[in-house]
Amino acid sequence: MAPTPISIPSFAETQLQLLLHEHEAEVSSSSLATTAASVSPATRRTLQATGNALTGLILSQCRTGLGGRVVGEFAPDPAIASSESSDGQPRLGTHGIRVGDVVRVNDVSAGAKKVGKDKPKDGADVKGPEGVVTRVSDKAIWIAFGQRGGGARSKEDDEVIEELWSKKLWVIKLANDVTYRRMRQTMEKMGKMTEGDHSQFMRVAFGHTTPLQPDEITEPIEFLDPTLNDSQKDAIRFALGSKDIALIHGPPGTGKTHTLIELIMQFVQRNKRILVCGPSNVSVDNIVERLALKKVPVVRIGHPARLLPSVLEHSLEVLTQTSDAASIVKDVRKEMDEKQASIRKTKSGRERRVIYDDLKHLRKEFRERESKCVDNLVRESSVVLATLHGAGGHQLKNQKFDVVIIDEASQALEAQCWISLMSAEKVVLAGDHLQLPPTVKSTNQKSKDAPKKDAPEDKEILKGFSLERTLFDRLLALHGTGIKRMLTTQYRMHDKIMRFPSDELYESKLMAADSVKARLLVDLPYEVRGTDDTQEPLVFWDTQGGDFPEKTEDAEISKKETLLGESKSNEMEALVVARHVDNLVDAGVRPEDIAVITPYNGQRALLSQMLREKYPGLELGSVDGFQGREKEAVVVSLVRSNEEHEVGFLGEKRRLNVAMTRPKRHLCICGDSDTISRGSSFLKHWMDYLEENADLRYPDAGDLL
């Protein structure tokens, strides 16, 4: 049956509204974007204490960094610094500014004087220059100025930075809204397109046509990686042959990225030009690292401060300095550095002005030469990698690719995906729609957001849109499973750990690889004693019976907080968890090989109090934060235990799927089967499965206290 077509302009308009709400929700929760330059010393200290600012600084050095940016080194003001390092130099106080953060450097006295040509007409504060943190040590912080988000600069960097010398400064972290800006621009562009502008892929994505019949690849493919399993080979064959869309469905541990690496290499062999994207820098760097191991030449686009050190040599900015084409840029850089160094030695204001003028011209020339060099480098490279929002940068303007591949597509907002897909002809999306979608802060974003001017039937269609609905999910619903191939051998979990999610969510299609299906903690490559725990892959501590009740911190806010999953805790259950961890460690399992996860923040805080100091290496986290990760042993604390049989957060299958598919050799569930089994049929089946297959244990409340 033909899919019901969706109006592209209406879709774009709905997305714009949803994104607006989401951005507002995000900004109000961070409160960073609106902070003015002139704030009291007390507020500055509070901002530092909450990890959002760094106070008491001076500019101590300046040089030309990557991409010709001016990089300033900011050190503690010796006049007020309170602590010193062993070499007697002042040390920065505790702060939460990290490499990659977008920050603004403010003059402590800014706003107080409000003089000079920078004074804005509306009387707002004079705000200092913005940049990206490139390095942080205990004695200084380095910030690269200019080109925020690839935009144009309004004033010459050297001059702006020059104004910071000998001032008392402080640095504030800003909300990074590049992603939102790019999503908005993309949706605006999509909304304005006429039918003639729509690509085949776009028409498929909105149900205006069905996907073209894939090419039957009959000749045998020479796979470069001899270890690929049949489902991986099948997915690669399918993706090579597809004309417009191919989804690679990778359940936990099935080698989704492994498969993409081979696919990329196969495309390269066929002389195709490929853009590879992911929602986060880590997801992209992971692919860059693996391609580099295979000696595939790649260009990685993105601010060097945010890239893993191991992939820096493939970064576009570094390549502009090290490639053959870069020599024309080098001379100018050298000259700029010399000029810059001379400024500090020059006393006369007039001479300094001349140097500034020279620098200004040099920078202009540098940028022109560099931009040519960048263009050539990108144009010549057949594999380009960027985050989804990075794909909207100026470096990729007017670049055409034969294929766009998105990894972790089920964790990206649809609008984010479109940044890289607007002119794509053929698309490969890899992901797992049965794990958690991207985190969305705004609520209430369903039907009422449909644009008013829509025809009634259109409204009906748009009703279903929420930001959490991913492109991956939507395409599957629109065109059915014919557009996807699933990877079916998993290389992570013991068979007993895998069996339930496989049966319940993956149509019983998952198989455990021979190398992992019977692995136990006792088989770890270091000394572990054989115990009831280390020889058992699946343990269920069933707390039913009412002796392990959940607690809500504040009854007043319980309704709202339950939704957010913040305030629930269960002290008695936490004791069961702690006892289990003790037993694992006593048997010889290293704390670093154990993770304790829970859906509730209240419980996480409680567990942290009990276990953090005792086992610094133990990983403690939320289920959502642990997506994409794995550990030898995982203990899950389900928390919910009440007479009303309310399960809140646990009602979300995808969250439980993530929780139960993180371990390799040992999964221990702590929870009240009586409360949980009444939450949904999925939960009922899970409890039945545990009762039959897990090593079932009943904790004694009296014994724990």
Ligand X SMILES: Nc1ncnc2c1ncn2[C@@H]1O[C@H](COP(=O)(O)OP(=O)(O)OP(=O)(O)O)[C@@H](O)[C@H]1O
Taking the least distance from each CB to ligand X, the nearer of 308 and 610 is 308
249 binds ligand X (CB under 6 A): no
Distance (Å, whole) CA 254 – CA 661: 11
211 binds ligand X (CB under 6 A): no
Most distant CA pair in the chain, distance? 86
Distance (Å, whole) CA 330 – CA 220: 48
76, β-bridge pairs? 57
Taking the least distance from each CB to ligand X, the nearer of 250 and 392 is 250
Contact 599, 622 (CB under 8 A): yes
Taking the least distance from each CB to ligand X, the nearer of 214 and 255 is 255
Q: How far is the CB of 254 from ligand X (least distance, A)?
A: 5
Taking the least distance from each CB to ligand X, the nearer of 229 and 381 is 229
621, β-bridge pairs? 597
Q: Which residues of 624-655 are buried (b: 16+ CB within 10 A; e: fewer)?
A: bebbbebbbbbbbbbbbbbeeebbbbbebbbb
Taking the least distance from each CB to ligand X, the nearer of 42 and 293 is 293
Q: Would you give the binding string for ligand X spanning residues 219-248, x where CB under 6 A is met?
A: --------xxx--x----------------
Distance (Å, whole) CA 164 – CA 160: 7
Report 598-657 residues binding ligand X (CB under 6 A).
Answer: 628
501 binds ligand X (CB under 6 A): no
Q: How many residues does the chain have?
A: 705
570 binds ligand X (CB under 6 A): no
Q: Which of 200, 209, 257, 544 is the binder for ligand X (CB under 6 A)? A: 257
280 binds ligand X (CB under 6 A): no
Q: How far is the CB of 507 from ligand X (least distance, A)?
A: 18
Distance (Å, whole) CA 249 – CA 194: 32
254 binds ligand X (CB under 6 A): yes
Taking the least distance from each CB to ligand X, the nearer of 288 and 574 is 288
Q: How far is the CB of 484 from ligand X (least distance, A)?
A: 15
β-strand pairing of 53-64 with 489-490:
unpaired
Q: Find the part of the chain contacting ligand X (CB under 6 A) among 249-257, 414-422, 590-598, 674-682.
A: 249-257
Q: Would you give the binding string for ligand X spanning residues 464-493, x where CB under 6 A is met?
A: ---------------------------x--
Residue at shortest CB range from ligand X:
255
Please work out the total of residues on this chain that contact ligand X, with binding judged by CB under 6 A.
14
Report 60-79 residues binding ligand X (CB under 6 A).
Answer: none
Contact 147, 303 (CB under 8 A): no
Q: Which of 258, 369, 494, 654 is the binder for ligand X (CB under 6 A)? A: 258
Q: Of 442, 441, 412, 415, nearest to 429 (Cα)?
A: 412
Q: Which of 23, 249, 256, 363 is the binder for ligand X (CB under 6 A)? A: 256
437 binds ligand X (CB under 6 A): no
β-strand pairing of 511-512 with 169-173:
unpaired
252 binds ligand X (CB under 6 A): yes
250 binds ligand X (CB under 6 A): yes
Contact 473, 659 (CB under 8 A): no
Q: How many helices (H) and strands (E) does the chain have?
A: 22, 23
445: left (phi over 0), alpha (psi -120 to 50) or beta: alpha
CB atoms under 10 Å from CB of 135, counted, come to 14
253 binds ligand X (CB under 6 A): yes
β-strand pairing of 102-107 with 169-173:
antiparallel
Contacts to ligand X by CB under 6 A: 227-229, 232, 250, 252-258, 491, 628
